[in-house]
Structure 1
Amino acid sequence: MAIKNIIFDFGGVLMDWNPRYFFKDYFNDDEKMEFFLKNVAVDDWNAEQDRGRTLKEGTEILIEKYPDWEKEVRAYYDNWTTMLRSDIPKNVEVLRKLADTDYELFGLTNWSHETFPYALANYDFFELFKGKIVVSGEEKLIKPDPKIWELLLDRYNIKAEESVFIDDNAKNIEAAKTLGFITVHVTEETDLQTELEKLGVVI
């Protein structure tokens, strides 16, 4: 079946986000920074904000659990824009090329509904999706829950087997595969255009 749709994850694919971009200078101590990010402000905690919990609630929950780290926890979302360093130029270039083809472009992202508008306002390439973006924080669903892909398919009346899903998270790639999507797992070494062309996408 011919490929008709290209679906992009954002963080790690089109956007370079990492809390270390802020906390490296904040702590000026890599060991302390890694302890904080791996034991206090862990990925699973941040993911709950991506699932729709407010930043305020998430912050207060973590401070209650780790009162000795209150200053650092409050700094997390107060400095979130510093963590969003830039776009990923080589992949954004592929997106721009795809926008000049007949493929339909979609976004499917795990992102807080409170912070995503900043990215939307500051990076013009998001306009290429023409509003066809599913944001986890708005839907109260998060990858790798199959329901968020099903929502995308239903909302835009598209088929998984006619769609390429691009993500940097291996768990999300596996979940998409089980639903019938064609997938591209992005790593730092990935040449996205080459991988898409291998699948038969004409860019």
Structure 2
Amino acid sequence: MSDIRHIVFDIGKVLIHYDPEIPYARLIPDAQQRQRFFDTVCTPAWNVEQDRGRSWEEAEALLIDDHPHEEDNIRAFRRHWHEMVPHAYDETVTLMLELIERGHDVTMLTNFAADTFVEARRRFPFLDRPRGVTVSGEVGMIKPERRIYELHAETFGLDPAGAIFIDDSEPNVEGAREAGWRAIHFTAPAMLEDALARHGIVV
């Protein structure tokens, strides 16, 4: 009998695939130029601020001021975002839905820009099946900041000691543990069922 009463899923790279390389392989065919663009222009640090709530208009304007010659490629990040999320991870989605069907309390906690999450929800209806979701871009804070885990627990009435979090990012997993949750570092759909079983959750 497990003492886990709440199962919390991340979304990107856990339930749906995400890869900004997909459209840019076409837009910037040269691999070295493409890598330079991601290292110096549309960097992960720039993109995460949209997850924190910054608007795309402001984000684009900041980069275009510094890199006017890259304007088209900068604007392409949002314009082609739909290509970056081409499919769901069917095995993980099936597992999550089975947990819900068996009566487990399932919610989601994700670093996601508010507007792209609306788009993702339209494309992937299973995102409406859990009891609820905390979206970083809507609340103005991001994982692995402790406060977002606390906010999620407060919002959905979770006892941190009875919650387990599933995320592909080791820092986010550590953030959950520091907030008093248990956590699973997600590396592939096939490992998740075994990892849950080790915590007494059998699907």
Aligned to 1:62: 63
Secondary structure at the residue paired with 1:114?
A: helix
When the two chains are superposed, the root-mean-square deviation of aligned CA atoms in Å is 1.3
CA distance in 1, matches of 2:161, 2:44: 31
Secondary structure at the residue paired with 2:71?
A: helix
Per-residue CA distance 1:84-104 (angstroms, 9 max, x = gap): 111111111111111111211
In the TM superposition, 1:80-119 aligns within 5 A as 80-119=81-120
CA distance in 2, matches of 1:147, 1:40: 29
Secondary structure at the residue paired with 1:166?
A: strand
- Contact 1:55 1:114 (C-alpha < 8 Å) held by counterparts: no
In the TM superposition, 1:38-77 aligns within 5 A as 38-77=39-78
CA distance in 2, matches of 1:182, 1:160: 8
- How many residues matched? 202
What is the deviation of 1:33? 1.1
Structure 1: 4+ residue segments shifted above 6 A: none
What is the deviation of 1:189? 7.2
- Contact 1:51 1:112 (C-alpha < 8 Å) held by counterparts: yes
What is the deviation of 1:202? 2.1
Q: Which moved more, 1:50-59 or 1:63-72?
A: 63-72
In the TM superposition, 1:110-149 aligns within 5 A as 110-130=111-131, 132-149=132-149
Q: TM-score, normalised by structure 2?
A: 0.96
Q: TM-score, normalised by structure 1?
A: 0.96
**Residue 168 (structure 1) aligned with residue 168 (structure 2):** yes
Q: 1:33 to 1:113 in 2, by over 3 A?
A: same
- Contact 2:92 2:189 (C-alpha < 8 Å) held by counterparts: no
- Contact 2:17 2:88 (C-alpha < 8 Å) held by counterparts: yes
What is the deviation of 1:68? 2.0
Unaligned runs of 5+ in 2: none
Amino acid across the alignment from 2:171? K
What is the deviation of 1:190? 5.2
Per-residue CA distance 1:95-153 (angstroms, 9 max, x = gap): 111111121111100000111001101112112113x1000000001111111010011
Aligned to 2:159: 159
Aligned identity (percent) is: 30
- Contact 2:10 2:167 (C-alpha < 8 Å) held by counterparts: yes
Secondary structure at the residue paired with 2:134?
A: strand
- Contact 1:52 1:139 (C-alpha < 8 Å) held by counterparts: yes
- Contact 1:167 1:186 (C-alpha < 8 Å) held by counterparts: yes
Secondary structure at the residue paired with 2:129?
A: helix
